[in-house]
Chains A and B, each alone.
Chain A
Amino acid sequence: MSQAVVDRLQTQFGERVLETSDAFGDHEVVIAVKDWVEVAQFIKDDGDLQMDHFIDLTAIDYPERESARFDLVLMTRSSVTGARIRLRTHAKDGEEPGTLSGIWSGANWAEREVWDMFGIKFNGHPDMRRILLYEEFVGHPLRKDYPIDKAQPLVPYREVGDIDKLPPFGIEEGQPFARIDWESRLAGGDSQVSPAIGVQQGQRRTLSDSEVAQQIQARIDAQMAREAEAAQASEETAEEGSGE
């Protein structure tokens, strides 16, 4: 059953299927990283394969391997035929494979975890945040060169007033003590650390008290402007209602 999937991929992609294996009964197809998204889309959409059930996506680190450091492994299953297949590709450090989150929704979290644990970014991923660890974490722990007993810097309590967390919500999450330098990130910066750590490590200058006060005032002003706008809007609708 699963062998049929391997055969189908071989006829469809020919030499682009680099390797196949059925060691220990797990059927596997190795492809190049540039074909990653295309083959994944194919196994999902093809009428014979219909690999519609996402199972897992993970990575394996081989730091000594010169050609490509990481193995990316995708496992899928067909809810129609019951066949399972494992797709594998080799990615260099720093290379950005395409995201599969548009094909299977489950890949969204799986890819975020791979980024978190291995530092592999996925091209086109809608929300490439760390997921299990926190943003100030230095390094990617499942890489083989990350020592298991490595200590992380202590993340100090945030005093800066204007930094919030999640990009999907913009900077207005309502949690002034969140620790990420979203302002810098939303402005296109690639800062991985919080402003407080940035200050510690000399990446960011310390804000003076007056600057902090300014930022807080700006927030208050913005909030008041929004409230005034909302009040005006509700007044207008009330007037319209009374006019009728």
Chain B
Amino acid sequence: MRLNMGPSHPAMHGTIRMVIDLDGETLVNLDVQPGYLHRGFEKSCERGTWAQVFPYADRLNYVSPMLNNVGWALAVEKLLEIEVPERCQYYRVILGELARISDHFTCNGASAMELGAFTPFLWLLKVRDWVWDILERETGARMTHSFGRIGGMAAPPTATFKDDVLRVIPEVHKVVKETEIMLLRNRIFLDRMQGVGVLTKEQALSYGVTGPMARSTGIPYDVRKDHPYLVYDRFDFDVPVGEDGDNWDRFMVRLEEIRQSVRIIEQAIEQMPDDGPINVDDPRIVFPEKSDVYTTIEATIAHFKLVMEGLRTPKGEVYSFTEGGNGELGFHIVSDGSGTPYRVRVRPPCWYNLAAAREMLLGGMIADIIPTFGSVNMIGGECDR
């Protein structure tokens, strides 16, 4: 029997269509069709300035927008060959890890909910909301922050930033523990997760799978460890890996990564300087203070030039990659020396993770699609761009 699943199906997260050939309840053929959320991200980037990409980047992986913001800022900074001040690097790390926690909370919570466990979902989202409260206090927005800037951040940390983070961290630990108590000995949950949706190491490499999904198969690849950016080389943290590459391993890798993110945040809070500049000291790159724009002619002109023409980048081509919520989030940018990107390619981790989903689903049962697709953590904004 042939069945169309999605794109308007609650388990397809709204944007994927699967055409399934069934023999009884077994999947014998499968075609995954993305593209329902395609908005032309890459084309849109080619007509604004470099700084105008930030709002678009927010809307790639909208569960962890801060990671995309920082990823884009780092890509342009690599092209400009500048490095942001140390305080900003720590700030970016902490905000990014908070975003990663909220990303993993959402994915694991949704996975559990789709299997009927509604309580863990609500408990995880409760803490995600507290994490978002911090982000809101810092950036002004809960989800689409647009807080990154080329050469720094939009604003320095607020006075209570460190205290706010330290207050939420014990709650994160607590709710992870509670989730484990509720789910990990639940027979129904175990049966749906263990040995289901298996991806082998070789398949993962061949498909270009990265992030928690690759680590669940036993590939210890984490951009933060293998190619450290920002100040990640100063922290002591582990890269959790799975063995079987099934739904269970993906779930557990994400849970453990939440703990590792908390470890990174704790160390970063300790090491982060309390004062010092956030932005690089270069008026060609960084926007002037708003109060100066209104009172001095130099700042007015600088502001005008940056808004109207955009900052000038050297001619060239770079590929800059960071560890996003789902894996290696890469920006391949080509500059022709003007204030507008010539070409922006985002390497969305979801895209290749989703491509591998076919291998994980074939031969399984139709009911396995729901937990397996959930643990792939396909984010439509990033996958379809």
Contacts and interface: CB of A to CB of B under 8 A. Distances in A.
Interface string B286-300: 000000000000000
Given A53-B208, A148-B43, A24 B78 contact: yes
Interface in A34-86: 52-56, 58, 60-61, 73, 75, 79, 82, 86
A79 to B, nearest CB: 6
B19 A173 contact: yes
Interface stretch (A164-172, A220-228, A234-242): A164-172
Contact of B2 (A52, A131, A174): A174
A148 B44 contact: yes
Interface in B19-72: 19, 21, 29, 31, 33-35, 38, 40, 42-44, 46-47
A105 B343 contact: no
Interface string B323-355: 000001010101000000011010100011001
A128 B202 CA distance: 24
Contacts of A82: 226
A151 interface: no
Given A24-B316, A56-B332, A132-B34, A106 B43 contact: no
A56 B347 contact: yes
A131 B35 contact: yes
Interface residues of B, number: 48
B42 A56 contact: no
A218 interface: no
Nearest to B2: A174
B318 A26 contact: yes
A26 B331 CA distance: 13
B206 A104 contact: yes
Nearest to B30: A168
Interface centre among B21, B40, B345 (most CB of A within 10 A): B345
Interface of A: 23-26, 52-56, 58, 60-61, 73, 75, 79, 82, 86, 104-106, 108-110, 117, 130-134, 141-142, 146, 148, 165-166, 168-169, 172-175
21 contacts: A24-B79, A24-B81, A24-B316, A52-B206, A54-B205, A55-B208, A55-B328, A56-B330, A56-B332, A61-B343, A104-B207, A106-B206, A106-B208, A109-B352, A132-B35, A132-B384, A133-B35, A134-B35, A148-B47, A165-B19, A174-B4
